[in-house]
Amino acid sequence: MCYAFVNLICALHSLLKVPNWRPRFRYYHWSLSLTGAALCFFIMFASHWQYAVFSIILTFVIYKYVEWKGAKKEWGDGIRGLALSTAQYSLLKVEDKDPHPKNWRPQLLVLVYDSFWSNSVMDKWNVNLINLAGQLKAGRGLAIVVALIKGSSWNCGDRQKAEEMKERIQHEMLRVHLRGFGKTLLFDENQMHGCFATLFQSIGIGGLKPNTVLMNWPKIEEENAVFAVELVEAVANDECIMLAKGITEFPSSSSDRLTGYIDIWWILLDGDLLMLTAFLLKQHKIWRGCKLRIFAIAEIPGKNVELKAMLQKYIYMLRIDATVFIVDDNVNHGNEPETSSGLIHSADALMITTKEKKNDHKSKKIIRGADSENNEMQAETTFIPNGLSSFSKDYLSVYHQREIGFHNDENWKGTLETIKRFNDVIVGNSKDSQLVLLSLPRPPVSKEKILSHYMRYISTLTLNLQRVLFIGGSGKEVVTINS
């Protein structure tokens, strides 16, 4: 057995061409080692095959035990060299381009702040974000967690702190079974744009790189500037953005299983991306007991039944188990200014053809009277597959990613009032839900506008909601009906 495995290791090192393998025999070839190993195994099984099988099993058990416990002295591992060579080969085979839409999945880049690790209370902010990443990934795909640390790479103390943070991150990832890598980024406040731009552009290798940024809503005012730069650079690099608000209320990996509802509010183009995210969350045991509900807002009650049936058919084609609700919101509250900012498009736009959308776009009004007592949630209906006409995904593409009045200070007050009314609608239907998924509108490119308008927009939209996950697509994410 000893001679057999010595020959196998020699052959493996020769095939992998590792630099520490330098045989003295000038005419050595890896086939000689394989021949020697084969002869050893032949003699073992010819002599007594029962003992041979027992010896092989015992050797494997000893190897796994040493691998698990760790040897006192590291002598090298041929299996590790084989794994590295296999990984290199696989990466070279993966093309460095966008995957096919049907193969798209969130590859997470999780951003955490080092200031939140200072005490046990603040720890929950970052730990729960890593928990959420683990629940979303369900142990699959790429995940890279990066801790953002204010400091300099020239400072020994900052480098030591970064190393400790990296070990802490890797420990938390191991605890929640999130397979991936832990990293740290030292940055200076005067170079934030350059640091984050470099991070988003260089993270990953080849075709294996993150396409989705998962971040926390800032808790303290000092983190607002960092948050704004993260948004700007993430959008500039075409990253999908997931923003968790109320992260301390999110369940940990050791929490009891949740029951209730996961609510999706389909108000922008990213509705199918919201459904995909909810579906992935439900694969984890924590969220498996929750039911999906999809809410759409209709301006014209007369089309509610047809609209609901159309949306149900689309969900059926996506093979996602969810209940559809159409929320009436057609009560007129005074003469309010008309807007074409694209802030909120009602769900009845699903019924409009491409030509009609262009003609009717200017006549669309923002939803009104969300706080009316007449607002009702339509009763659930049964989906009838053969009762509908042909369906086109184009019916859902009613929103073009544009900045929602963040540059126009004159319209900002009206925009804020609209958001308050829309928050009333969401709270009225989803206040007791376990999770609310909302589309994240495209942020402005100005850091100042994010700090003054955009963050207030998000805060107003999520008032009195326990857990909210915003998702903003880059335009590359497409959920197909084909397997």
Domain ranges of the chain: 2-93, 101-247, 263-472
pTM for the whole structure:
0.72
Q: How far apart are CA 268 and CA 342, in angstroms?
A: 9
Type and span of the H or E element at 445: none
CA distance 425 to 365: 17
Q: Which two tokens stand for residue 32?
A: 């000689």
Q: Find how far residue 314's CA is from the centre of its chain.
A: 23
* List of residues 6+ apart from 235 with CB closer than 8 A: 241, 442, 443, 445, 474
**pLDDT in 10s for each residue of the chain, 483 residues:** 888 888 888 888 788 777 777 888 888 888 999 999 999 999 999 988 898 899 889 988 887 887 776 655 555 556 666 677 777 767 777 666 666 666 677 889 999 987 645 544 447 788 889 999 988 876 467 789 999 888 888 888 888 888 888 888 888 888 888 888 999 998 887 888 888 888 998 888 877 888 899 999 988 888 888 899 999 999 888 889 999 998 888 988 777 888 899 999 887 666 678 888 888 898 888 999 999 999 887 666 667 777 788 888 888 887 888 888 887 654 334 334 333 333 434 343 333 333 333 344 433 333 333 333 333 333 333 233 333 334 344 433 333 444 455 656 667 777 788 888 888 888 988 988 999 999 888 888 888 888 888 888 899 989 999 899 999 887 666 665 655
Q: CA-CA distance, 178 to 140, in Å (whole number)?
A: 8
Which fold, 101-247? Rossmann fold (3.40.50)
What is the rounded CA–CA span in Å between residue 151 and residue 132? 27
φ/ψ of 437, rounded to 5, equals -105, 125
Q: What's the CA gap between 423 and 419, in Å, rounded?
A: 6
Of 378, 376, 389, the residue nearest 314 (C-alpha): 389
Q: Edge-to-edge, what's the strand order for the sheet holding 468-472?
A: 181-187, 143-150, 108-113, 212-216, 240-245, 468-472, 435-439, 260-265, 290-298, 322-328
Q: Which spans in 70-183 are helix H?
A: 78-93, 120-137, 156-175
